């Protein structure tokens, strides 16, 4: 293989696929990226056997062929070279020579035949969203995923598809996030799959708030996402997601409406003196008034008071302040609505500027 390419042209697809390269790889080949030239296109592939990323660009090669190179070393070389530098890659036996100007690097290659290749998946369900819509679903829900929970099915994001609706749900057992969008999806059955945490984080890194179409294919064990010049594939978590509808509280009588940004700032100040381990904050609600309080083992206290719209019964309830701040930060509207039943029941939070998302947080004893 012989390839002449500008630094920026090579750098972009390399940065796109690098997230799939294992940092602590159990197989040496998993630390490499596969470069494949067919004469008119250059394709880069990286995988850790759970996630596969393939980036493709139009580029004419001097000599077609394929090669595997150490992914992070190649990325570091590209980054270190000056802008607009011309890079030449040439294979010589089991080594590759990378040269640019007066710089020259020799990298050891590994056999292309050793590089794992995910089989072509047969999509059971296929549908399209815009890149902006798909990223919105992820951004509004992913923060509530569990992290290394023994209940492995919580360490991911549940994607649910039914006629006319695509929905994402995440929960770690203490809180739940849900976002739904209308879709042209035409299916008579409800389908659910669980995207693993790493796959979700990679998608949120790769996608942008654009109106470009995203093609989503779902098979028995894999999910594949195709967007311009990029193909992302991840294994799915084999498990049954909890019935999220059972934990969404019915509309309560105690309804609070509050300015989202003012609440975010007040929670941030109150959190400074909360217990570092339990992160508790006490909320006292009375007519058109809310008081936030926190304290820690050093007998330090913080208190915030703010005007709100509240017409319910006086209520005192405790929450993990981090969970509250996560929700408030991910809302987009100017105001939020929180519905309470009593001090021992979960709160239901809605974004008044985006009605298709809701959040549930369990209370804590303080």
How far is it, in rounded angstroms, from Cα 169 to Cα 156? 9
Same domain, 87 and 162: no
Domain boundary among 81, 114, 147: 114
Q: Do residue 271 and residue 334 come from a single domain?
A: yes
In the structure, what pLDDT confidence band is assigned to residue 347 with cuts at 50, 70 and 90? very high
Range with the poorest average pLDDT among 57-61, 102-106, 197-201, 353-357: 353-357
Mean pLDDT value of segment 178-188:
88
Domain limit, last residue, from 201, 225, 246: 246
pLDDT band at 304 (very low <50, low <70, confident <90, very high): very high
Q: Give pLDDT, residue 119.
A: 67
Task: Report the DSSP pairing between strands 354-361 and 289-295.
Answer: unpaired
pTM, entire model: 0.92
What pLDDT is attached to residue 318? 97
Residue 363: which pLDDT band, with cuts at 50, 70 and 90?
very high
Beta bridge partner(s), residue 126: 217
Tell me if 275 sits within 8 A of 310, measured CB to CB. no
Supply 351's token pair: 């974004």
pLDDT in tens, 241-259: 999 999 999 877 899 999 9
Q: Are 172 and 149 in contact (CB under 8 A)?
A: yes
| Mean confidence (pLDDT) of the chain | 94
Helices (H), ranges, 213-259: none
Number of domains in the chain: 3
Q: Phi/psi at 84 (nearest 5 deg)?
A: 65, 15
Q: Are residues 257 and 232 in the same domain?
A: no
Distance of alpha carbon 305 from the chain centroid: 34
Residue 24 has a pLDDT of 78
Say which range, 56-60, 78-82, 115-119, has the weakest mean pLDDT. 115-119
Residue 75 lies in a domain: yes
d(CA 125, CA 293) in angstroms, rounded, equals 49
Angle formed by the axes of helices 321-330 and 260-271, to 10°?
Answer: 150
pLDDT above 70 for 263: yes
- The answer, yes or no, to whether residue 122 has pLDDT greater than 80, is no
Give residue for tokens 């990223």.
135
> How far apart (Å, rounded) are the C-alpha atoms in residues 140 and 144?
9
User: What long-range pairs does 363-366 form, CB within 8 A, spacing at least 24?
Assistant: 363/317, 363/318, 363/319, 364/278, 364/280, 364/318, 364/319, 364/320, 365/318, 366/280, 366/282, 366/318
- The arithmetic mean of pLDDT across residues 305-326, rounded, is 96
pLDDT above 90 (res 173) = yes
Cα 206 to chain centroid, rounded: 9
Answer whether residue 361 shows pLDDT above 70.
yes
* Within-domain flag for 262: yes
**Looking at the predicted structure, is the pLDDT value of residue 325 above 80?**
yes
120 in a structural domain: no
Q: Are residues 255 and 238 in the same domain?
A: no
Burial of 182 (0-12, 13-18, 19+ CB in 10 A): exposed
**With pLDDT > 70 as the criterion, what percentage of the chain qualifies?**
99
Any domain includes 173: yes
Q: Is residue 282 part of a domain?
A: yes
Report pLDDT digits (tens) over 209-235. Answer: 999 999 999 998 999 999 989 999 999
Residue 302 burial by Cβ neighbours in a 10 Å radius (0-12, 13-18, 19+): middle
State how far the Cα of 228 lies from the Cα of 281, in Å rounded to an integer: 45
**What contacts 318, CB < 8 A, 6 or more positions away?**
280, 281, 282, 283, 363, 364, 365, 366
Least trusted range by pLDDT, from 19-28, 56-65, 93-102, 189-198: 19-28
CATH code of the domain covering residue 18: 3.10.150.10
Percent of the chain residues past pLDDT 90, beyond the cut: 86
Over residues 303-308, the mean pLDDT reads 97
- Residue 25 belongs to what domain range? 2-114
Look at residue 185 in the predicted model and tell me its pLDDT: 81
Q: Is residue 366 part of a domain?
A: no
Question: Looking at the structure, do residues 241 and 254 belong to the same domain, yes or no?
Answer: no
From the list 307, 366, 365, 318, the residue with the least C-alpha distance to 340 is 318
Tokens of 69: 């190179």
- Which tens digits make up the pLDDT trace of 9-39? 999 999 999 999 977 778 999 999 999 999 8
Does residue 63 form part of some domain?
yes
């Amino acid at each position: 293989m012989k390839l002449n390419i500008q630094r920026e042209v090579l750098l972009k697809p390399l940065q796109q696929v690098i997230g799939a390269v294992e940092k602590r790889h159990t197989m040496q080949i998993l630390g490499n990226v596969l470069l494949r030239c067919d004469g008119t296109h250059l394709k880069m592939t990286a995988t850790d056997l759970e996630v596969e990323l393939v980036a493709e660009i139009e580029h004419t090669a001097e000599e077609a062929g394929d090669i595997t190179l150490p992914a992070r070393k190649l990325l570091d070389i590209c980054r270190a070279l000056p802008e607009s530098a011309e890079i030449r890659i040439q294979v010589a036996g089991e080594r590759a020579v990378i040269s640019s100007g007066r710089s020259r690097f020799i990298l050891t290659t590994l056999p292309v035949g050793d590089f794992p290749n995910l089989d072509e998946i047969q999509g059971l369900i296929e549908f399209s969203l815009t890149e902006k819509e798909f990223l919105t679903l992820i951004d509004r829900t992913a923060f509530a995923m569990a992290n290394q929970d023994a209940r492995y099915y919580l360490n991911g994001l549940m994607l649910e598809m039914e006629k006319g609706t695509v929905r994402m749900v995440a929960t770690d057992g203490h809180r739940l996030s849900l976002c739904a969008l209308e879709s042209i999806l035409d299916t008579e059955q409800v389908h659910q799959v669980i995207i693993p945490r790493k796959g979700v984080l990679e998608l949120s890194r790769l996608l942008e708030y654009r109106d470009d179409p995203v093609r989503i294919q779902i098979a028995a064990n894999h999910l594949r996402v195709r967007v311009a010049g990029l193909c992302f594939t991840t294994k799915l978590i084999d498990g049954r997601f909890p019935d999220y509808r059972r934990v969404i509280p019915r509309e309560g009588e105690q309804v609070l409406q509050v300015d989202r940004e003012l609440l975010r700032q007040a929670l941030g100040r109150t959190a400074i003196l909360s217990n570092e381990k339990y992160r508790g904050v006490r909320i006292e609600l009375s007519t058109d008034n809310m008081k936030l309080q926190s304290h820690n083992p050093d007998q330090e206290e913080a208190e915030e008071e703010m005007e709100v719209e509240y017409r319910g019964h006086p209520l005192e309830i405790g929450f993990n302040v981090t969970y509250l701040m996560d929700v408030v930060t991910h809302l987009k509207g100017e105001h939020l609505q929180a519905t309470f039943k009593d001090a021992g029941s979960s709160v239901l939070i809605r974004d008044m500027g985006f009605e298709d998302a809701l959040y549930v947080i369990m209370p804590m004893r303080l």
